[in-house]
Chain A
Amino acid sequence: MVGYLVVLLLVLAAAAYWIGRTRAIASVNGDVARLHSLPGQHGMFLALFAAGPALLAIVLWSMVTPGIESSIIADRFSAELSGMGVPQVEAFIRDAHAMAFGGLVGFADPTKEAAAAVYKSIHATSAWIIWAIALMLSASGFYWAYSRIAQAYRARHVVERVLRAFLITCSAVAILTTIGIVLSLIFESLRFFQQVPLYKFLFGTHWSPQSAFTGAGAEAGAVNQDIFGMVPLFAGTLLITFIAMLVAAPIGLMAAIYLSDYASKSVRAVAKPVLEILAGIPTVVYGFFAALTVAPYFRSMGESLGLNVASESALAAGVVMGIMIIPFVSSLSDDVINAVPQSLRDGSAGLGATKSETIRKVILPAALPGIVSAMLLAVSRAIGETMIVVMAAGLAANLTANPLEAVTTVTVQIVTLLVGDQEFDSAKTLAAFALGLVLFCITLTLNIVALRVVQKYREQYD
């Protein structure tokens, strides 16, 4: 029903544009040059005031009403709900909502049906209210703006100011996102740290949140604080990242050097797209490749060498992750190497150095800060990578440095803890947010350090 209202307002806006335009032209008897603003700007002005406030009101309404409606329901049925805990009340309201407006209903009973009926009537009332408010706002906005349209009225300034405000709001979305990430992570993590002390989380060496409570079922006791130690996860993440960098750093760097200094035009025309395709392949595809091709291959190769390789070995996940990061390293290094001025190469060649000597002794030292920064960014990327490790690395936390064993990572644990059914107050699910906070901090630090390295140690040649 509110959907129709939005459509109606959009139609009104279009009509208002046309009316405003016509009135502006009429106000100068067709001599458009005498207007301060263009007729179209007058039209925009009228349309903005006819539909804008009403649309804002609808947005506000749709954000606020669900909460108000369910609190009214909870209030009216407080007698029936008095004996229930928070999750049951939530389930009750969810079911009543689903019965009223369609959706998956858990199980129906007469109380819920009554609640659904109330829900419907409240919702109908609130929809009528918003219709009335929106139409009133629209009419008054239209009346006010219509009366302002005149030959000397500066409609352009108003329209442009509104537009600029819109642009600023859009830029602020980026900041809002960051604030949202930081706040939601910190908020949920704080709830986690109320149950598990920070030092046990950061320095504990035992991780098995599946048995989060002492006792089971109805006898579930307090949270077992000793099973939330993230050291094994962190060690696993570092191990896989290290293997990935062992693959990606040399290959990516050498590929970048070759493509920027050695390759002929035709080779570059083939090799660059190859690297771009490698970069564009979704990580879930790499994960599938790692789990179904690379891991069994390593396992059978290890068997033939007499080694015991786990089927979810860190090696397989790390190598495939390394392949994924190659294009990232090579494109960043490529930029850095190309940024070294040609005069350095020419000078080195003039002294009789071969190309490789120039690269090794002149260009790489000059590009070192950039390359270090590229590697740090690649490490940050590898630490935050999820799908490959979810599909190819293990689930059990295992504190080991042996790449042939299965290890688990921070991202794997976040996914395992949050996929599937979850209640939002258990230490188990909150632990995922604490892990997310750690992940966010690590990657952010790495990015900032990478930026600082370039800023601080970059040689200014020009």
Chain B
Amino acid sequence: MTDAISSFGAVGRPVSIHTDDAAKARLKGRYRAETWFKWLGAAAVALAGLFLLLLLSTIVTQAIPALRQNYLTLPIDLSAAKVDPAKLDAVNYDAIAQEALTAKFPDVTSRQDKRLLRGLISTGTGVFLRKDIAADPGMLGKTVDYAVPLDDFADLYLKGLLADVGSDEAISTSVTPSQTSGDIDLTFGDAAMLALARGHGATEGENGMLTLTSGASSLLVAFNSGTVKLTALSPGANGTAVAKGTVIEALDSTAPAASGQAFLRVIDTPEASRKISDKVIVWLDTLKSAGLIESRFNSIFFFTGASREPELAGVWGAVVGSFLTMIVTLAIAFPIGVSAAIYLEEFAPKNRLTTIIEVNINNLAAVPSIVFGLLGLAVFLNFFGLPRSAPVVGGMVLALMTLPIIIIASRASLRAVPPSIREAALGIGASKVQTVFHHVLPLAMPGIMTGTILGMAHALGETAPLLMIGMVAFIVDIPGGFTDPATILPVQIFMWADFPEAGFQQKTSAAILILLVFLVIMNAIAVILRRRFERRW
């Protein structure tokens, strides 16, 4: 009896190999494996999404600063003494703008500092000024407030990309300077400044002496309408602290500043590891607090050609080059691709030759793009002697590359048109050509267009073959025709990514953003076409 009971489970069924404990454990293990597998799959998808997110967020966060540019408004003296209205082209406009800037800082006297100061504004200032005067001669003969673009380092600093700068904090003790300019001593009312300097990487010396080298954060003290940079600190008598400092902006008196009257600014990034000196930072902050600096939409970037100077470099030349190249590509690849697809799908007899063509097209689609560049170099440039760097050659190379994509997409689209359409047309007496061109092709057109747009989007992002045919040349002018030397957007991105100047990194990202926007628009058009016009039979 007991044996009988033990051989029945709780629900009264006999225990077997499929229901005993080992089986339950096995089942549990199998379900666990199932869950694991499922999560592994989900993780793979999530990882792919994460990569995309990482890529796009990196690009976008870097690109945003490049969309704006800082301008400095200066009173430019365009009186007849400076600018001879009869000889507008002979005037050194850069010098006039630089004079206006140096006039803002009468304390700056040394040659080196003056050069540093002049470097604050872009080297393209003169060009802009001349162009604006030519457009509006009314500016001449007086002093006008004119906004000039800042140099890339100044611009990047103001965007907060070159140095970590803390906000001004009031010093809660008195500060007494020994002189108003040069290397001076400062006496602080308490020793709090010593602890602060230690916290910012000051080097310990003998007798509690602290030295602030260029490897430490910069401590700037602003009071009496001037700024002093601290170089060394030591404990003084009666719990005070004595600091040595260099005056960057002259103080107006040696009167002690009361508690709360002096302000401390800490630049966390050590001077040695940033590309902008303390002096320039102080000048820029002065100009900024005077309300002379203004951040504007970066029209230079969008509407000018390339340049070696980051603040003057623009994408317009590359955009125009891309546009011209795409026109050539489309004009060649679309008619040829669609014609080839029509022939292969509708007319071609099934024989050896057409099989070869088909295999050929599939193989062409898998040939590395750089090989097409080699073809263009050997055939178009060296054999036919076409011009280097020209959109017409680039367009031809890209057309050969896009051709297989368009042919494959068009064939798929033609195949999707049901035979009944053809039979109906043939039945009422249309010729084969009329059937195809009047009935099949219009029905297949949305699919063909979608494939073409996707192929063009692919061609727009292609870089490698165009490097081979010399579109990597440095071209400043906006190309005006199909045979002018030009560069294209992806190649411009490639070139800018190689430039060492910090400003180009943002420009590169912004150019990528523009390229991606074009691609998104093209893909969106393709999706809309597919949604609206494609018929399922």
Contact = CB atoms under 8 A, between A and B. Distances in A.
Point out which of B364, B368, B493, B497 has the most chain A C-beta atoms below 10 A from its C-beta: B368
Interface stretch (B26-34, B91-99, B138-146, B413-421): B26-34
A355 B34 contact: yes
Interface string A162-191: 011011101111110110110011011000
A391 interface: yes
Given A254-B41, A440-B371, A293 B58 contact: yes
List 6 A-B pairs, minimum CB-CB distance, nearest first: A384-B368, A282-B461, A258-B41, A254-B44, A184-B378, A356-B37
6 contacts: A178-B363, A178-B364, A254-B44, A275-B48, A386-B368, A447-B363
Contacts of B337: 170
A171 B44 CA distance: 41
B431 interface: yes
Nearest to A450: B366
A167 B436 CA distance: 12
B463 A387 contact: yes
Contact of B367 (A181, A267, A387, A448): A181
A354 B356 CA distance: 45
Nearest to A163: B433
Contacts of A274: 45, 48-49, 52
B339 A170 contact: yes
B36 to A, nearest CB: 8
A163 B472 CA distance: 40
A160 to B, nearest CB: 5
A66 B381 CA distance: 13
B332 to A, nearest CB: 9
Interface in B320-376: 335-337, 339-340, 342-344, 347-348, 356-357, 360-364, 366-375
A282 B462 contact: yes
A39 interface: no
B512 A285 contact: yes
A263 B48 CA distance: 15
Contacts of B335: 170
B467 to A, nearest CB: 5
Contacts of A285: 55, 59, 461, 493, 512, 515-516
A135 B387 CA distance: 29
Given A174-B404, A359-B37, A354 B374 contact: no
A434 B252 CA distance: 74
B493 A284 contact: yes
A167 to B, nearest CB: 4
B273 to A, nearest CB: 15
B40 interface: yes
B516 A281 contact: yes
A406 interface: no
A113 B41 CA distance: 72
B401 to A, nearest CB: 9
Contacts of A360: 37
A259 interface: yes
A63 B505 contact: no
Nearest to B497: A288
B25 interface: no
A280 B527 CA distance: 14
B363 A444 contact: yes
A2 B361 CA distance: 35
B382 interface: yes
Given A255-B41, A439-B370, 10 more contacts: A164-B343, A173-B403, A181-B374, A184-B383, A253-B44, A262-B42, A263-B45, A281-B519, A293-B58, A384-B368
Nearest to A386: B464
B519 A280 contact: yes
Given A171-B339, A175-B357, A443-B367, A327 B384 contact: no
A103 B388 CA distance: 12
A255 B44 contact: yes
Nearest to A248: B48
A436 B433 contact: no
Contact of A177 (B377, B403, B491): B403
A242 B453 CA distance: 33
A150 B464 CA distance: 56
A92 interface: no
A178 B360 contact: yes
Contact of A292 (B375, B463, B497): B497
Given A174-B403, A274-B49, A415 B467 contact: yes
Nearest to B462: A282
A386 B369 contact: yes
B348 A440 contact: no
Contacts of A433: 374, 378
Contacts of A419: 467-468, 472
A432 interface: yes
B513 to A, nearest CB: 10
Given A170-B343, A187-B378, A283-B461, A415 B41 contact: no
A173 B336 contact: yes
B298 interface: no
Contact of A354 (B34, B336, B369): B34
Interface string B419-438: 00000000000011100000
A185 B373 CA distance: 11
Contacts of A243: none
Contacts of B493: 284-285, 288
B368 A174 contact: no
A385 interface: yes
Contacts of B384: 63
Interface string A151-165: 000001000100110
A51 B468 CA distance: 37
Contacts of B51: 278, 323, 326
Contacts of B123: none
Contacts of B361: 174
A158 to B, nearest CB: 12
B385 interface: yes
Contact of A291 (B38, B369, B460, B497): B497
B306 to A, nearest CB: 16
A316 B218 CA distance: 36
Nearest to B369: A386
Given A326-B48, A354-B31, A447-B363, A281 B375 contact: no
Contacts of A327: 48
A175 B491 CA distance: 29
A440 B508 CA distance: 31
A160 B437 CA distance: 11
Given A285-B516, A383-B368, A185 B497 contact: no
A284 B463 contact: yes
A63 B380 CA distance: 11
Contact of A384 (B371, B457, B460): B371
A277 interface: yes
Contact of B374 (A66, A250, A432): A432
B340 A414 contact: no
A58 B536 CA distance: 45
A214 to B, nearest CB: 27
Interface string A118-162: 000000000000000000000000000000000000001000100
Interface string A77-118: 000000000000000000000000001100000000000000
B247 to A, nearest CB: 38
B45 A259 contact: yes
A160 B464 contact: no
Contacts of A251: 44, 47-48
B504 to A, nearest CB: 11
Contacts of B519: 280-282
A298 interface: no
A408 interface: no
